[in-house]
């Protein structure tokens, strides 16, 4: 049935139907009683898929490659962790505060930073994560390098894994829905115009400064939410990890590898890179993963700038057209 016909009957588009089906299937996984290892691994995939998707709003749609999203991730993580540590407030309830603070921080640093372009912007955002790490490390109320120890959920270990699994899956669904919706709005059109030629976009009436700042804040807001959940999941918070440059680089790699031009590209990249990382962590020396990821990032930027999904989008229509022109008959099959 044609996509327009589906809409005329009030039904979602085919890609939305597929997404809903996959989301429901993933939500039902705990009913099969998988082990905590599998739930933890899927939680990691969901988290990085949501992070890569959040980054793609500014890095993919607008074309501003940020290497500082660890700053927003860590800020969200410390916001919920500190509210739990000092006031006993559940991170599940204070997630909006984590997102808002990350967005406000993005607005504060974004206005001057987004005036820069290319490698200058990337370098400044990289410094943001390092600055937040140093700031958190030297503040007494954050417990510095000793870190924050957070209480566990008052349930058994397996139930705790299931709860965090479902919450992170919910965040992944929200991020994916936001990404898909942006591509169907004026915001998406404006960001695409900025990515292709910012000066030309300005002559066409696109308010590049406002649009970039909105995209940066939305990206930071979603990243802060994810960091807020992660802090409670780990139950221990250390600035050397949540503000680590490796997080920002991994997010960028996933989005670029999967394909930053499609809303589902970062999800594909997160799945593939997470599986590769798990295999390397299990069967290779500790530093191998960083070396492989560094080589992959360089290779993707140089030889595959539009990611895996761009290859599929180019070749699948061609294959379908060939099959339509030369259908296989029963005699040819025989």
Closest CA to 256 of 200, 201, 301, 318: 301
Residue 29 token pair: 């996984």
Q: Are 82 and 251 in contact (CB under 8 A)?
A: no
DSSP per residue, 220-246: HHHHHHHHHHHHHHHSEE-HHHHT-HH
Give the pair of three-digit tokens for residue 300: 């993707």
* Domain map (residue ranges) of the chain: 19-333
Query: Phi and psi dihedrals of 259, rounded to 5?
Result: 130, 105
Cα 307 vs. chain centroid, distance in angstroms? 15
Q: What is the pLDDT of residue 1?
A: 47
* pLDDT on residue 321: 44
Task: Collect all residues with Cβ–Cβ distance below 8 Å to 307 and sequence separation of at least 6.
Answer: 255, 256, 257, 258, 259, 260, 261, 262, 265, 268, 269, 300
Distance separating alpha carbons of residues 116 and 248, to the nearest angstrom: 19
Please name the residues in contact with 165: beta carbons below 8 A apart, sequence gap of 6 or more: 29, 30, 39, 42, 43, 46
Q: Which of the residues in the chain have pLDDT under 50? A: 1, 5-6, 8-9, 319-321, 328-334
Do 173 and 23 touch, CB atoms closer than 8 A? Answer: yes
Question: What local confidence, expressed as pLDDT, does residue 15 receive?
Answer: 75
For CA atoms 78, 82, 84, 89, the dihedral sign is negative
**Residue 262: closest CA among 317, 309, 216, 316:** 309
Q: What is the DSSP letter of 326?
A: S
- Rounded to two decimals, the pTM is 0.88
What are residue 333's phi and psi, to 5 degrees?
A: -70, -40
Give the domain 19-333 fold: ABC transporter involved in vitamin B12 uptake, BtuC (1.10.3470)
State the pLDDT at residue 332: 44
User: H or E element: which one contains 148?
Assistant: strand 148-149
**Within its chain, how far is the Cα of 187 from the centroid?**
19
pLDDT of 326 reads: 56
196 close to 35: Cβ distance less than 8 angstroms: no
Q: How many CB atoms lie within 10 A of CB 12?
A: 12
- Asked if 218 and 57 count as a contact pair (C-beta separation under 8 A), the reply is yes
């Amino acid at each position: 049935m044609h996509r327009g016909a589906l809409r005329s009957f009030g039904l979602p588009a085919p890609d939305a139907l597929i997404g809903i089906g996959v989301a429901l299937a993933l939500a039902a996984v705990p009913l099969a009683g998988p082990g905590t290892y599998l739930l933890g691994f899927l939680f990691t995939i969901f988290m990085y898929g949501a992070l890569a998707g959040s980054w793609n709003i500014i890095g993919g749609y607008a074309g501003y490659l940020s290497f500082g999203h660890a700053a927003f991730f860590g800020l969200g993580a410390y916001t919920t962790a500190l509210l739990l540590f000092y006031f006993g407030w559940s991170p599940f309830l204070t997630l909006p505060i984590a997102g808002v603070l990350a967005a406000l921080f993005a607005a504060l640093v974004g206005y001057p930073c987004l005036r820069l372009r290319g490698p200058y912007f990337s370098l400044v955002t990289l410094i943001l994560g390092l600055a937040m790490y140093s700031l958190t490390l030297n503040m007494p109320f954050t417990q510095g390098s000793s870190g924050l120890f957070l209480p566990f959920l008052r349930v058994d270990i397996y139930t705790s894994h299931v709860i965090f699994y479902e919450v992170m899956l919910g965040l992944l669904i929200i991020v994916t829905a936001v990404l898909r919706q942006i591509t169907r709005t004026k915001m998406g059109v404006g960001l695409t115009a900025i990515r292709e030629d910012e000066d030309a976009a300005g002559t066409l009436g696109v308010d590049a400064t406002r649009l970039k700042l909105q995209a940066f804040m939305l990206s930071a807001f979603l990243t802060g939410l994810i960091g807020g959940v992660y802090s409670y999941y780990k139950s221990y918070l250390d600035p050397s990890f949540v503000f680590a440059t490796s997080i920002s680089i991994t997010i960028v790699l996933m989005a670029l590898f999967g394909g930053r031009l499609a809303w589902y590209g970062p999800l594909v990249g997160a799945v593939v890179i997470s599986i590769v990382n798990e295999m390397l962590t299990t069967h290779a020396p500790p530093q191998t993963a960083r070396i492989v990821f560094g080589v992959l990032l360089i290779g993707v930027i140089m030889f595959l700038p539009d990611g895996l999904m761009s290859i599929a989008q180019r070749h699948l229509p061609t294959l379908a057209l060939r099959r339509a022109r030369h259908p296989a008959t029963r005699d040819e099959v025989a």
